[in-house]
Amino acid sequence: MSCCDLAAAGQLGKAGIMASDCEPALNQAESRNPTLERYLGALREAKNDSEQFAALLLVTKAVKAGDIDAKTRRRIFDAVGFTFPNRLLTTKEAPDGCPDHVLRALGVALLACFCSDPELASHPQVLNKIPILSTFLTARGDPDDAARRSMIDDTYQCLTAVAGTPRGPRHLIAGGTVSALCQAYLGHGYGFDQALALLVGLLAAAETQCWKEAEPDLLAVLRGLSEDFQRAEDASKFELCQLLPLFLPPTTVPPECHRDLQAGLARILGSKLSSWQRNPALKLAARLAHACGSDWIPVGSSGSKFLALLVNLACVEVRLALEETGTEVKEDVVTACYALMELGIQECTRCEQSLLKEPQKVQLVSIMKEAIGAVIHYLLQVGPEKQKEPFVFASVRILGAWLAEETSSLHKEVCQLLPFLVRYAKTLYEEAEEANDISQQVANLAISPTTPGPSWPGDALRLLLPGWCHLTVEDGPREILIKEGAPSLLCKYFLQQWELTSPGHDTSVLPDSVEIGLQTCCHIFLNLVVTAPGLIKRDACFTSLMNTLMTSLPSLVQQQGRLLLAANVATLGLLMARLLSTSPALQGTPASRGFFAAAILFLSQSHVARATPGSDQAVLALSPDYEGIWADLQELWFLGMQAFTGCVPLLPWLAPAALRSRWPQELLQLLGSVSPNSVKPEMVAAYQGVLVELARANRLCREAMRLQAGEETASHYRMAALEQCLSEP
């Protein structure tokens, strides 16, 4: 058989390519083409390769492109099987006068014909050819060779067919196809556009696995696309805007791509565009903002102007979409604009190294205020039937980001919306599994769910906690939150989240947002303890909360890296104990004793005596664990000291317990070992408050303090109240 005959046989694959356009019934095909049936019989009865070649050639001549249907293709496969194509793909010897790739081309053509049947495309004999097929994409050869081009087309047809099967993307990724496609695209040889199209499909189907298997190659493609984007002057720049989000990695966008991406976006967004041209650019910018924050925007005048432009455009888009009732909202675009507004909020509230100058911040805050007003207007119209829609969740998220930083503006509108927010948060809390699904859908609106950067929390309540923390300080909003049942909801939420951090759970895999959420809940409860003490006493949910705090603190104070959360729990528990002092749970029970012992541990370990070079006397200094976070901790520590002082006269068993812990003795010993000049007045006041109440409450405490040179120490530090108390019998 000649080389030309082999090439003709290869056209069988081309017949298969057109099969989907025309699939007549098998009996009709048989009645029109009985010759085909005879040739299929000859193909089935072939005893060697030469006979199979001949039969394939006859079948090819009997079948016109477009006339072969799925059932006929299957009959050809039944006649040929996989053994013959397998040998064609792996043979290294071609007939005389034929290039060495001709046999492989015929084998690929047969596979392409078979793969048009989805059942055959997922056959193990096709799947195990993936590594071989992938090598054909990057094989060197004459770029003008028609047979080679045909083989490349057939290879893409096979791989595309496999990708369309349920588990096909996984097999392609494991077979090295992603790297081969990247190299084929970067080589810009024949079929490179097909390589890009197949890459897009694989990334859409299995992004994480693609990056895990072929990160260096995908980054090379991203760099190439970024450079093309920066250089593009024609309509291709808008097409690249659509493609680039798919090629942003789940880890971090390479810094070398930042300049090209920003420059390309600046050129697009700085022009007068129609919405179909502008919207993909906004979505790409949102992906970059979500992945990199503002790191991809250059420092300096050009960067600040670009960021201001981004936020301006986003706010205008949000207002246009949400202010006019009855207009169709492009939810994916508006969600992308929300991400850009979040970036604006972050930069406007950043004190150091902000890209924006103060006048720009003032201007942007004013513009974002108007956009947030539009978001509130939209949310006020959301009925119960829409509460589970992802776009509502995204709208609550941006409002939560705004309220975390700004509650004084739009005060009336926010108060008007609070009942809806409480009901919405409660609905999603009670259906937590669906809420997580909503969060995923929100991510899919405009940004990839695996993109790095701040996460999209799966519950609306966590989004609202910072804003509610500010609002519970104010009388009006606090009363609305209480009336709508927010405190009870917050208690339930806190207890649920606390379970995630309890023994038996791997806290190392928890996102930081869980612990931050717990701390913010504590801050809200602290506000309520101070401003609404009657609520704490009468609402049963706070009794449950107190019990959890008491049982949890002893183990929490022992855990490394969780001191700030322990401080919140200890201080909140001490303040609540003052209000709930008559509760049976606080009458010297094991849980209450364990809690106060842990609280004493937290309060007592904050400061140590530290020697100073050239001085005989040590100074009072922060202990190492407290030193790095004292700025966040000190207010809680002083409040905890004050709350402990208030608990002593209310709980008769507490002073003897403190004495057994040796806290008063060790405190006096610490003060006696350091220079009084190194102890700040507010520290002296806090220490004296605790020592005085313990001395007044218990005679044994007074005696222990006297034995520890308490009167002398009190005199040195001018603690008049303590000195007087210790001088009494």
- pLDDT at position 25: 32
Whether 24 shows a pLDDT value over 60: the answer reads no
Q: Which residue has the tokens 């790297």?
A: 179
- pLDDT at position 5: 47
- pLDDT at position 588: 94
Q: Which residue has the higher pLDDT, 352 or 570?
A: 570
- Band (pLDDT 50/70/90 cuts) for residue 21 is very low
* Alpha-carbon separation of residue 506 from 433, 452, 496, 695 (angstroms): 20, 22, 15, 43
Question: Residues 6 or more apart from 205 whose CB is under 8 A from it?
Answer: 163, 169
Highest mean pLDDT among 50-64, 266-280, 362-376, 417-431: 362-376
Backbone dihedral angles phi then psi of residue 47, each to the nearest 5 degrees: -105, -15
In the three-class reduction of DSSP (H, G, I as helix; E, B as strand; rest coil), residue 607 is classed as strand
pLDDT digits (tens, 9 = 90+) for 530-562: 999 999 999 999 999 999 999 999 999 999 889
Give the separation between CA 84 and CA 109, rounded to whole angstroms: 12
Retrieve residue 450's tokens. 């695996």
Write the single-letter amino acid at 55. Answer: A
The pTM of the full predicted model, rounded to 2 decimals, is: 0.83
Q: Which residue has the higher pLDDT, 349 or 116?
A: 349
- Band (pLDDT 50/70/90 cuts) for residue 370 is very high
- pLDDT at position 306: 95
Give the angle subtended at the CA of 125 by the CAs of 122 and 129, to the nearest 5°: 95
- pLDDT at position 4: 46
**Looking at 5-19, 200-214, 532-546, which range is the least confident one?**
5-19
Q: What percent of the chain has pLDDT over 70?
A: 85
- pLDDT at position 187: 92
Q: At what angle do helices 255-269 and 275-292 cross, to 10 degrees?
A: 150
Write the single-letter amino acid at 443. Answer: A
- Band (pLDDT 50/70/90 cuts) for residue 11 is very low
- pLDDT at position 162: 95
Chain mean pLDDT for the chain: 86
Whether 694 shows a pLDDT value over 90: the answer reads yes
Give the separation between CA 239 and CA 229, rounded to whole angstroms: 9
Give the separation between CA 671 and CA 125, rounded to whole angstroms: 81
In the three-class reduction of DSSP (H, G, I as helix; E, B as strand; rest coil), residue 89 is classed as helix
**Looking at 16-20, 67-71, 457-461, 493-497, which range is the least confident one?**
16-20
- pLDDT at position 48: 72
